[in-house]
Amino acid sequence: MIQRASLYKAILHAARLGVSRSAPFRYLRNWLRLPGLSPDPSANLSIEGTIEYGHETAISEGCNIIVPPNATLRLGNGCHIGRYVELGPSGVIEIGENTSIQDRSILVGDVFLGRNCMLSLNVLMTSGVHYYDRWPHLLIRDQDRMVFADPKHAVQHSQPITIEEDCWIGVNAVVMPGVTVGRGCVVGSNAVVTCDLPPYSVAAGVPARIIKQRLSFAPPKSIEWRDEKQYPYFYSGFELAQSEREKNYREGGHIARGRFALWLDCSGAKEICLTVRSLKGEKLVLQHGSVCVQLFDDWHDCRFPVEAGSEPAWFLTGEKKGIVIREARVE
């Protein structure tokens, strides 16, 4: 009787496992749980935390997406996640709009990718490490366990990785914990990035070293939306892809939503002045530091004090409401 009961349980478990791994079942489950996302049925999605995603986001064959409790995965509009990619946030992984991650890349921990980035094959980014020298006489595995068991050490374990907009990370590249790769950077194949890279750098090697500049990044005192050579200084959060610019041209400026940044030469200046309006008549509040300005759908100048050491200058509209910026300058 015991053998029959065990056999029955084994058959039942196998049947459940077979159903749960079948493509039709996974497709139906994902369609019900994640409407509008429709990942490939072969993708393994274990979502206990929070997942946020935009439209036209693709998750390809064999991906392993694991979001534990209290963790968040954010996928912007038009993201492409290639085959057999692994995404495993411990805090937050955020992937910006129109960013693509190619096959077999792995992002673990706290990782932030900006808009319009391209990650090649087999890229590795993890914000945590193993510990071998805290208590060097102990096993590495035991040192890891002791770090996680101590709240003081555990809170310092994850060192977020930031890849800013318009970056290209080459095949087999590794980006180490705590590194910020500035806007517009190119990282060569097989490189290991161990320190921050300034905007528009081209870096290669182990460890990665800057070998040239993609362009001379020299923030001016003023920028104007029609000058394409000034696009780099509309630094973050702007809709600057060609298709977006063509669609938004009639608005008379560059559009940003939610959080965005401008990079100007603020040396000797007291104020940042923006010529702005809200998009589509939305009533919103524009914030920089502690200063808030009410915006409407007519053009007007907003002034904000220059904050020492705050380059680039970050602004917030809240709730991803749209703002149109025609000009920015310092005075």
Distances, alpha carbon 313 to alpha carbons 82, 189, 197, in Å: 34, 32, 18
Tokens 């496992």, residue? 17
Which residues are within 8 A (CB) of 264 and not within 5 positions of it... i.e. 6 or more apart? 219, 220, 221, 222, 223, 233, 272, 313, 328, 329, 330
Per DSSP, 197 falls in state: B
Catalytic residue among 13, 55, 130, 288: 130
Q: Cα(81)–Cα(60) distance, rounded to whole angstroms?
A: 6
Q: Which of 195, 191, 194 is nearest to 169 (CA)?
A: 191
Q: Which two tokens stand for residue 149?
A: 């068991």
Q: Which two tokens stand for residue 6?
A: 């065990």
Does the annotation count 130 as an active-site position? yes
Q: What are phi and psi of 48, to 5 degrees?
A: -105, -25
Q: Cα(74)–Cα(94) distance, rounded to whole angstroms?
A: 5
Q: Cα(169)–Cα(126) distance, rounded to whole angstroms?
A: 15
Distances, alpha carbon 207 to alpha carbons 78, 86, 106, 189, in Å: 32, 24, 20, 12
Helix (H) or strand (E) holding 202: strand 201-204
User: For 70-157, where are the alpha helices, taking DSSP H only?
Assistant: 140-149, 151-154
Residues designated catalytic:
130
